[in-house]
Amino acid sequence: MESVYFREKLFATVLYGFRTIKKPSAVTVHPELMKQIRDQFKGTQIAPVSVGGKEMFFGLPVIEDATKDKDYIAVS
């Protein structure tokens, strides 16, 4: 997801996931991509936040999965 349109691609992926999954329960992300997301959205209202010891992004808990591709993000 390294491009000029990083944020747009990220929004599109997450919003598509919300639209296709009836009861979304988590956002699964490769750890390197999650680091990039934290850096890109730092100081914004949609930045990942820690709630009750869990990291949340778009209102869902974040699951970091290093077995996926480096640009992997999905709503499940």
Give CA angle at 50 (19, 57), nearest 5°. Answer: 15
Reported as a single tens digit per residue, the pLDDT across 2-41 is: 567 999 999 999 999 999 999 999 999 999 999 999 999 9
pTM of the entire predicted model = 0.88
Strands (E), the chain: 27-29, 49-51, 54-57, 60-64, 73-75
- Return the pLDDT at 39: 95
Q: Looking at residue 3, what is its pLDDT?
A: 61
Structural tokens at position 9: 């691609």
For 43, phi then psi, to 5°, come to: 85, 5
- Which residue type, as a one-letter code, is found at position 62? V
